[in-house]
């Protein structure tokens, strides 16, 4: 249906733009000629080093580390595993680890070189969710009480004791926190774990039944009154014994949740859908935002927590983070936590996307998922070394005025994706233990010697491998009784998971401790400038320098991912200078040539580090700096790519400044490694807004020079139709869903959709202002088979400017099957002639595709009884649909009356909803 103009969001956007421009107002500074001294030394800034750029994190799942107090194993809930969640023989249940165990093993953790302990969520969880396997909340992500420690792990006093003991050793303690969801407590009258219903199909409604867009209110202090019986596409309900289960009490208000069904992790439902039934919080609502801020302030103030890792950050709206991050950080500073640090989980490997959260969203850092992928490709897969050159060159996506890439925590594996030991084993089938150990060690060398804060996932230092991610990557450090874990091989040792594995003599523990010792002794290797130096085009050497701006002593790091020794001539900043080996194997002393090349030979699958015997020579004058023409970045239209060429070869820091409209010059960010560049976030400014840029270079002698000024304007966004696919087919059985995305998305956007039939005139089919996926529905039921239909989208800016997408063209065609096979799987299969129940491959219970209506269906005779069932796709449980059409959803109940009956089973491949009709 046509949508109203987003007036509230328009007003908010205009007010924000005015406020931002007012903040930028000031005396206009004219263009500066190349190599002209800048008007103010304040323009020449140092590259930012936030308080947290030199931590060594140890990431630990408390339930899987050490059992220090067996009395709390069942959490006080008794011996029934389906009540307490405790079963030390099952990988999906509590195994017995706790905070007391962590306290007892602080010597072991500290001995690794750890400076910060990061705990998985430790708040009180729903002990068991029967719908999930069943499985238990041992991992900490099914929270019911945000104010107390899960009793399986101990008490609030146990946490306080752990933090105090860690602080006494000079270590910090970080909490893994959640703002996106709670445990699965809310059900729907329409069914359990139902399929997602989009806002375009069913908008939110006020308590009076009036449709509204929640994004009009996100980031404000007001929100419409809601009624659970009226406001949502599903009717939220609570079981009688769970009406006051959650703490704080405001979490028991079912109108503070999105209530739209299960997410598919794409588009709109990535923000609004339930994660496998977990109750997705209405984070656009001010009550939720303020409530979460209050919850986490208390853990800082009362317990002295040093920082947060934030779960599922990319699934929460931007307005939430823009307030949550600054307010929590300001509170931490107010209670003396000057180094308080937050980093988010953004499970994506595209820097243009992950950097959005540290720039636009105003958060301090994100976990470096792009690094994890790059490190695996280099160390485990021996992919071309020059891929790392390209990878690190993109670090400037994170550079802005208050953050940069040096703050990011880097890692090699985790509790979701799996361990580095698993990756090197699967990537190198048949390799010897010695080779696997070398590759594992090489990955850690890259992580410790390159920029960022390295994270060790508990057990990696003992050679843990596992067979994949999630539950099979969560072994206990204490002796395990889990069969799946007992089968695992451990790298570098003959020990097994049937034994405790707190062995400081393990070669990986020793290797990681050595890396921590080297980087502690040579701080430039932790947070010095990271400058590319050399990269082979195939497997071989990648080399870079690390330089502390104060010490001005160059370190050269060279890593070899080939299976044979490799030589390289590596550029440095100083000629005829001795470099001394501080790590790895090779000559103790090497001298650079007159042309400043350091010739090294790096052994196979290993690293070497050399330190200059003296400082980089002091520059006598600042070099010239020339600014390139600013251009919208290819990967993100909302970021302006601004780069500079610096004449010279020494240590330089280049500050980029922007002037927006008539505002004052403001720093965008400072880069301390070539290529010198920033990706300025221009999303807050309207298209056509004048922009000016210039660059100021600061050399290591304190001299400065500035570039010429370059002018441009904020570009128009791009508009892309994402569905239907160009050249595809549509059927007359259901409306065609036409969708478009905008880059960059702004709150003021309105998108109209049009169609053209058989090359005829363009006619409107709908308008939408609800991002992130703009949607319209087209009825093609009256069109003949073979008709060609084109679709396009037209975006309107507030000033009347329009942007038109490229068209997509489809053909009206008969319905066709979208999958290979559909099978009814459940405890009724043995009644249908299958050898057993719950078998996804049984031919006897398959459905057939009906070309007349596009449905999968079949009719079977069943005896009287009550059955549970769902459908599986392509002979596998990998894809299955349950109640309401939810992927992996709950079982569907079927009752056949006395005497038996014929039952027709149907699966709709468009909505994914299975159904059964008796008689």
- What's residue 12's pLDDT? 42
Q: How far apart are CA 879 and CA 819, in angstroms?
A: 11
Q: Stretch 113-140: mean pLDDT, rounded?
A: 95
- What's residue 243's pLDDT? 97
- Torsions phi, psi for 63 (to 5 deg): -65, -20
Q: Who contacts 820 (Cβ-Cβ below 8 Å, separation ≥6)? A: 873, 874, 875
Q: What is the DSSP string of 772-793?
A: SSEEEEE--TTSPTT-EEEEEE
* H or E element that contains 794: strand 788-796
- What's residue 133's pLDDT? 82
Q: Give pTM, 2 decimals.
A: 0.90
Q: Stretch 662-675: mean pLDDT, rounded?
A: 97
Tell me: domain 25-49+528-708, CATH 3.60.150.10, correct?
A: no
pLDDT > 60? residue 31: no
- What's residue 182's pLDDT? 98
% of the chain with per-residue pLDDT over 90: 91
- What's residue 42's pLDDT? 66
Say if residues 889 and 911 touch (Cβ distance below 8 Å). Answer: no
Average pLDDT score over the chain: 94
pLDDT > 50? residue 4: no
pLDDT > 70? residue 493: yes
Helix (H, G, I), strand (E, B) or coil at 643: strand
Query: 913 has which bridge partners?
Result: none
Mean pLDDT lowest for which of 19-28, 328-337, 592-601? 19-28
Q: Stretch 89-114: mean pLDDT, rounded?
A: 99
Say if residues 580 and 600 touch (Cβ distance below 8 Å). Answer: no
% of the chain with per-residue pLDDT over 70: 95
Say if residues 197 and 234 touch (Cβ distance below 8 Å). Answer: yes
User: Tens digit of pLDDT for each residue in 531-552?
Assistant: 999 999 999 999 999 999 999 9
Q: How far apart are CA 263 and CA 196, in angstroms?
A: 6
More confident call, 190 vs 16: 190
Q: Beta 639-646 vs 631-632: how paired, if at all?
A: antiparallel
pLDDT > 90? residue 727: yes
Q: How far apart are CA 203 and CA 770, in angstroms?
A: 10
pLDDT > 50? residue 765: yes
Q: Where are the domains of the chain?
A: 25-49+528-708, 58-182+280-516, 718-812, 822-918
Q: Stretch 426-452: mean pLDDT, rounded?
A: 98
Q: State the DSSP code for 187.
A: E
Q: Stretch 7-27: mean pLDDT, rounded?
A: 39
pLDDT > 80? residue 703: yes
**Nearest alpha carbon to residue 467 among 419, 539, 533, 529:** 419
C-alpha angle with apex 797: 796 to 800, nearest 5 degrees? Answer: 80
Query: Residue 748: pLDDT band by 50, 70, 90 thresholds?
Result: confident
**Fold match between 25-49+528-708 and 718-812?**
yes
Helix axis angle, 286-303 relative to 156-168, nearest 10°? Answer: 60
User: Tens digit of pLDDT for each residue in 836-876?
Assistant: 999 999 999 999 999 989 999 999 999 999 999 999 999 99
CATH class of 718-812: mainly beta
Say if residues 230 and 257 touch (Cβ distance below 8 Å). Answer: no
pLDDT > 60? residue 86: yes
Q: Which two tokens stand for residue 68?
A: 């220090």
User: Tens digit of pLDDT for each residue in 570-585?
Assistant: 999 999 999 999 999 9
Look up tokens 């304040």; give the residue.
42
Q: Stretch 362-387: mean pLDDT, rounded?
A: 98
pLDDT > 50? residue 900: yes
Residue 671: CA atoms inside 13 Å, Cβ hemisphere, count? Answer: 28
Query: 41 has which bridge partners?
Result: none
pLDDT > 90? residue 13: no
- What's residue 125's pLDDT? 98
Query: Residue 698: pLDDT band by 50, 70, 90 thresholds?
Result: very high
Catalytic positions? 311, 345
Q: State the DSSP code for 716.
A: P
Q: Which two tokens stand for residue 871?
A: 């459908």
Domain 58-182+280-516: assigned CATH number: 3.20.20.80
- What's residue 35's pLDDT? 35
Helices and strands (DSSP H and E) totals, the chain: 16, 50
- What's residue 350's pLDDT? 97
Q: How far apart are CA 609 and CA 605, in angstroms?
A: 14
Tell me: domain 822-918, CATH 2.60.40.10, correct?
A: yes
Query: 388 has which bridge partners?
Result: none
């Amino acid at each position: 249906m046509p949508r109203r103009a987003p007036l509230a969001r328009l007003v908010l956007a205009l007010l924000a733009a005015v406020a931002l421009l007012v903040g930028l107002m000031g005396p206009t500074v004219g263009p500066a000629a190349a190599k002209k001294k800048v008007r103010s030394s304040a323009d020449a800034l140092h590259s930012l080093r936030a308080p947290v750029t030199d931590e060594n994190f140890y990431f630990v799942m408390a339930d899987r580390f050490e059992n220090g107090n067996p009395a709390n194993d069942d959490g006080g809930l008794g011996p029934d595993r389906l009540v307490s969640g405790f079963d030390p023989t099952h990988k999906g249940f509590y195994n017995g680890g706790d905070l007391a165990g962590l306290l007892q093993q602080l010597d072991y953790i500290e001995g690794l070189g750890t400076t910060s302990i990061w705990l998985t969520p430790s708040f009180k969880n729903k002990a068991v969710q029967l719908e999930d396997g069943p499985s238990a909340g041992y991992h900490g992500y099914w929270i019911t009480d945000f104010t107390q420690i899960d009793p399986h792990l101990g008490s609030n006093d146990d946490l306080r004791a752990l933090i105090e003991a860690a602080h006494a050793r000079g270590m910090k303690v970080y909490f893994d926190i959640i703002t996106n969801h709670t445990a699965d407590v809310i059900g729907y009258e329409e069914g359990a774990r139902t399929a997602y219903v989009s806002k375009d199909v069913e908008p939110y409604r006020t308590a009076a039944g009036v449709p509204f867009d929640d994004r009009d209110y996100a980031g404000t202090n007001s929100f419409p009154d809601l009624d659970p019986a009226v406001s949502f596409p599903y009717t939220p309900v609570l079981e009688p014994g769970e009406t006051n289960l959650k703490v704080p009490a405001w979490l028991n208000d079912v109108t503070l949740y999105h209530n739209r069904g299960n997410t598919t992790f794409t588009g709109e439902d990535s923000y609004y859908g339930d994660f496998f039934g977990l109750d997705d919080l209405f984070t656009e609502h001010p009550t939720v935002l303020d409530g979460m801020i209050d919850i986490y302030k208390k853990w800082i103030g009362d317990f002295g927590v040093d920082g947060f890792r934030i779960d599922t950050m990319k699934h929460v709206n931007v307005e939430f983070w823009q307030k949550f991050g600054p307010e929590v950080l300001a509170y931490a500073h107010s209670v003396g936590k000057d180094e308080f640090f937050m980093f988010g989980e953004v499970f994506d490997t595209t820097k243009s996307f992950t950097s959005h959260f540290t720039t636009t969203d105003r958060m301090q850092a994100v976990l470096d998922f792009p690094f994890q992928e790059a490190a695996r490709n280099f160390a485990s897969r021996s992919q071309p070394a020059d891929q790392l050159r390209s990878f690190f060159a993109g670090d400037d996506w994170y550079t802005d005025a208050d953050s940069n890439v040096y703050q990011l925590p880097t890692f090699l594996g985790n509790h979701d994706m799996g361990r580095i030991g698993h990756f090197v084993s699967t990537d190198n089938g048949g390799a010897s233990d010695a080779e696997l150990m070398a590759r594992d060690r090489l990955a850690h060398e890259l992580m410790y010697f390159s920029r960022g804060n390295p994270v060790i996932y508990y057990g990696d230092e003992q050679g843990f491998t596992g067979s994949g991610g999630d539950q099979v990557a969560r072994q206990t450090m204490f002796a395990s009784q889990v069969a799946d874990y007992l089968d695992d091989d451990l790298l570098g040792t003959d020990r097994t998971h049937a034994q405790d594995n707190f062995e400081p003599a393990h070669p990986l523990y020793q290797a990681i401790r050595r890396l921590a010792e080297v980087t502690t002794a040579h701080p430039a290797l932790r947070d010095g400038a990271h400058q590319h130096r050399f990269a082979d085009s195939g497997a071989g050497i990648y080399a870079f320098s690390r330089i502390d701006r104060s010490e001005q002593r160059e370190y050269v790091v060279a890593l070899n991912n080939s299976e044979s020794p490799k030589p390289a001539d590596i550029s440095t900043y100083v000629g005829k200078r001795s470099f001394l080996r501080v790590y790895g194997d090779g000559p103790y002393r090497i001298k650079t040539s007159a042309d400043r090349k350091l010739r090294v030979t790096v052994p196979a699958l290993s690293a070497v580090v050399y330190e200059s015997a003296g400082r980089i020579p002091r520059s006598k004058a600042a070099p010239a700096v020339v600014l390139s023409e600013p251009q919208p970045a290819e990967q993100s239209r909302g970021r302006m790519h601004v780069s500079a060429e610096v004449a010279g070869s020494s240590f330089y820091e280049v500050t980029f400044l922007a002037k927006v409209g008539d505002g004052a010059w403001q720093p965008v960010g400072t880069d301390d490694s070539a290529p010198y560049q920033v990706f300025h976030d221009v999303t807050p400014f309207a298209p056509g807004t004048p922009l000016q840029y210039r660059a100021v270079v600061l050399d290591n002698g304190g001299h400065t020079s500035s570039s010429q000024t370059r002018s441009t304007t904020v570009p128009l966004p791009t508009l892309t139709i994402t569905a239907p696919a160009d050249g595809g087919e549509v059927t007359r059985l259901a409306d065609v869903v036409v969708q478009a995305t905008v880059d960059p998305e702004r709150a003021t956007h309105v998108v109209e959709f049009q169609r053209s039939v058989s090359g005829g005139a363009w006619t409107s089919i709908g308008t939408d202002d609800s991002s992130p996926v703009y949607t319209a529905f087209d009825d093609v039921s009256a069109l003949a088979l073979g008709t060609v239909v084109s679709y396009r989208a037209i975006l309107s800016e507030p000033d009347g400017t329009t942007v038109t997408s490229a068209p997509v063209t489809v053909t009206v065609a008969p319905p066709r099957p979208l999958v290979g096979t559909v099978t009814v799987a459940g405890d009724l299969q043995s009644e249908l002639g299958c050898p057993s129940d719950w078998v996804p491959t049984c031919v006897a219970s398959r459905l057939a595709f009906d070309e007349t209506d596009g449905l999968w269906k079949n009719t079977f005779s069943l005896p009287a009884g009550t059955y549970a069932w769902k459908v599986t796709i392509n002979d596998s449980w990998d894809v299955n649909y349950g109640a309401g059409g939810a992927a992996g959803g709950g079982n569907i109940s079927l009752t056949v009356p006395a005497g038996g009956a014929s039952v027709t089973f149907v699966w709709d491949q468009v909505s994914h909803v299975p159904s059964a009709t008796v008689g």
